[in-house]
């Protein structure tokens, strides 16, 4: 049995609201952007998703830790969250795959958290006031005056204007071999990529070269890539000028492109659309999205605080360059009409704002990887 900590902890939001609870995981202090995640499962994948870098995750599901953690479901090589907020932390782990208690892992990895918090009230507060900076303080740190803790929170950098992709990206190249017969070579920009993504590509006969965020266009040409993938990732897309420049070169050269999440925002910027920060973002495994071409509603896994500002009323010429041709919004969120995908009509490029690799989450959208394969197949045939 895992005896939960009785050490006092306090949560402080930048607007001055405070909540008290117990230390969960490591003791100490941490500050980040407060975001809530609506998934009822998949907490291990959430903790290891690089897109949560510098964010404190609030779990809306009340019971966390029931199934412990294992050595197979991590989506990267480390936990990226800045902190962790739960209501009812499980005292035991009950799953045949579990190798460790969640709290024990958080403590071992130095992730500062808090339990015993009314996460429903906190989520409603963030929905009303918007995502904001927040601090968790436990142990000796929690005994400091609240005014001092609040000052530490408000002194922390905001997410808007933060360039974070380079902080989570790998430093060297990684080759994930194709399963079975190799059909294509794809360069995948690691802007915070999750391990399931190259696995999904490899399962379709694609040799995947996962490359650093700063990789130049010339390296893509050297590798003879049939297509280029731009991953999910943290931070403000307005700071990603290098990747946007690469994307514009790819669009001009008619190289097939597929982007997800952060990659969707970068394709939007490359085409000439602006991006903006959402009030509280979309995070979880239950976000309904309409595919406007098929009329199909897909339940998607999402994690983003920024979105593309593109017109919903039909195709338009790409604002950045007429040579890129026409583009349309392909997917829309049914909760708030946020742009959830872009499709170029005269260039081989498309993107979605959600996570088709769905780790964790429903598999409704995994066919988008097949669509990328079709795009490369058509591009190769046209070049013959």
- Active-site positions read 261, 355, 357
Q: What does the alpha-carbon distance between residue 197 and residue 369 come to, in Å, rounded to a whole number?
A: 9
Token pair of 357 as six digits = 């690799």
- Tell me how crowded residue 182 is: count the other CB atoms within 10 A of its CB: 12
Give Cα 34 to chain centroid, integer Å.
15
DSSP secondary structure string for all residues of 125-171: HHHHH-SEEEEEEEGGGGGS-HHHHHHHHHTSPPSTT---HHHHS-S
DSSP secondary structure string for all residues of 179-212: SSS--EEEEEE-SS--THHHHHHHTTTEEEEEE-
For 301-314, letters b (16+ CB in 10 Å) and e give bbbbbbbbebeeee
- Residues in contact with 21: Cβ distance below 8 Å, sequence separation at least 6, in sequence order: 9, 10, 11, 114, 115, 116, 117
Which residue, 300, 145, 308, is CA-closest to 240?
308
**Across the strands, what pairs with 19?**
11
Contact call for residues 263 and 189 (beta carbons, < 8 A): yes
In the structure, how many helices (H) and strands (E) does the chain have? 10, 20
DSSP secondary structure string for all residues of 264-319: HHHHHHHHT-EEEEEEEEEEEEEEEEEETTT--EEEEEEEEEEEEE--SSS-EE-S
């Amino acid at each position: 049995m895992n005896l939960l900590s009785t050490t006092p902890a306090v949560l402080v939001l930048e607007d001055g609201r405070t909540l008290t609870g117990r230390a969960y995981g490591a003791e100490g202090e941490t500050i980040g952007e407060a975001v809530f995640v609506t998934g009822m499962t998949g907490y291990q994948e959430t903790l290891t998703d690089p897109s949560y870098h510098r964010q404190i995750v609030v779990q809306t599901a009340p019971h966390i830790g029931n199934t412990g953690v294992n050595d197979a479901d991590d989506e990267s090589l480390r936990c990226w969250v800045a902190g962790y907020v739960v209501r009812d932390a499980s005292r035991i782990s009950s799953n045949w795959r579990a190798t460790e208690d969640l709290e024990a892992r958080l403590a071992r990895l130095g992730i500062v958290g808090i339990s015993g918090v009314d996460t429903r009230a906190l989520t409603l507060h963030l929905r009303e006031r918007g995502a904001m900076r927040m601090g968790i303080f436990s142990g000796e740190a929690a005994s400091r005056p609240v005014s001092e803790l609040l000052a530490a929170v408000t002194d922390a950098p905001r997410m808007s204007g933060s360039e974070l992709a380079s902080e989570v990206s790998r430093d060297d190249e990684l080759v994930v071999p194709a399963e079975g017969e190799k059909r294509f070579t794809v360069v995948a920009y690691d802007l915070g990529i999750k391990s399931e993504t190259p696995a999904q590509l490899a399962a379709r006969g694609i040799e995947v070269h996962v490359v650093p965020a700063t990789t130049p266009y010339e390296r893509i040409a050297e590798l003879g890539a049939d297509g280029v993938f731009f991953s999910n990732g943290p931070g403000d897309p307005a700071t990603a000028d290098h990747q946007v420049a690469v994307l514009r070169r790819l669009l001009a050269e008619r190289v097939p492109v597929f982007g997800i999440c952060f990659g969707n925002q970068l394709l939007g910027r490359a085409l000439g659309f602006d991006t903006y920060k959402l009030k509280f973002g979309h995070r979880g495994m239950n976000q309904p999205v309409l595919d406007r071409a098929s009329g199909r509603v897909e339940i998607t896994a999402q994690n983003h605080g920024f979105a593309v500002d593109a017109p919903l009323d039909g195709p338009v010429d790409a604002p950045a360059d007429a040579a890129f041709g026409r583009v349309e919004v392909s997917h829309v969120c049914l909760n708030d009409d946020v742009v959830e995908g872009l499709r170029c009509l005269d260039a081989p490029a498309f993107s979605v704002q959600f996570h088709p690799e769905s780790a964790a989450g429903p598999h409704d959208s995994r066919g988008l990887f097949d669509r990328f394969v079709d795009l490369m197949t058509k591009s190769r045939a046209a070049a013959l």
